[in-house]
Amino acid sequence: MERRFQNALIPEEFEEAGFKQYERQTEVQKTLFNATLQYMENIDGILKDKPKVNSLGFIAVYGEREIRNMDPADRYSFKQAHNNFGLGKTHLQMALARYIIEKIRVRDELSDGTLSKHDRGCRVLCVSDVEFMEDLIQAKMSNDEGKKLQDLIQGACTTDVLVWDDLGKSKWSESKEGMYYQIINERWRHKRPIIFSSNEAKGTLSDKIGYAASSRLFGMTGKENLYEVEGQDNRLKEEK
């Protein structure tokens, strides 16, 4: 378990994140909490039965890219009314990641289609979009015949559960769009879940990661596991 926690790459500030610490005062906080709790209750069956709808996503009602393109005179007031930052999405994601590592066990599928005789601990990988995409780009430029890049992509494709924080935050490029598609498509093919959050809306997220990748991603969440949320920025509240 200690090794799985290390390999999960949970950010240091969220290493102790749990559901009990998450405030549930506003309606959006209650929505996020209940959605995560419901998914948590189903995760064991999701990993065993491999349904097509297997993922969980929190996205914005109005995307960051859309707001940035607005007239500066209107941008601030619109951002205040339709805020997606500081809602506690990352905290809940990491609390869920910790629960899966601690509680969930899985069996590997063998080459003949049968399951292995013994359970093992569930492998989780947590990535933050900007850092992860930069790592992939740097690996692509490395003079190692693509080994490091392939290792990074393979890890994201094959881990039992991928937690992708701030999806679509990285600046768009054609190369990155190809990487988004490669990872999401591979997980879609093998019905491996992605737990993700984004400050983009459905349309602007599709612009950032590519329409083919977003089509598969939204198909993995279905309507029931994709939540468009907005509310008060709790970080600003704490500062006040």
Q: Out of 4-8, 150-154, 213-217, which region has the weakest mean confidence (pLDDT)?
A: 4-8
Query: How many domains are there within the chain?
Result: 1
Residue-wise pLDDT tens digits, 76-102: 889 888 999 999 999 999 999 999 999
How much is the average pLDDT of 200-229?
A: 97
pLDDT over 60 at 225, yes or no:
yes
Q: Is the pLDDT of residue 15 over 70?
A: yes
The CATH number assigned to the domain holding 33 equals 3.40.50.300
Q: How confident is the model at residue 114 (pLDDT cuts 50, 70, 90)?
A: confident
Structural domain boundaries enclosing 230: 2-239
Whose tokens are 């009990």? That residue is 20
Q: For the chain, give the mean pLDDT.
A: 93
The pLDDT of residue 54 is 98
pLDDT surpasses 60 at 37: yes
Pairing of strands 120-121, 105-106: antiparallel
238 pLDDT more than 80? no
Number of Cα atoms under 13 Å in the Cβ half of residue 32? 30
Tell me which H or E stretch contains 30.
helix 27-49
Who's near 220: CB < 8 A, 6+ residues apart? Answer: 52, 53, 54, 55, 187, 188, 193, 194
Q: Which of 56-70, 104-118, 151-165 has the highest mean pLDDT?
A: 151-165
What is the structure's pLDDT at 240?
45
Using the predicted structure, report yes or no on whether residue 204 has a pLDDT greater than 90.
Answer: yes
How high is the pLDDT of residue 201? 96
| Confidence tier at 236 by pLDDT (50, 70, 90) | low
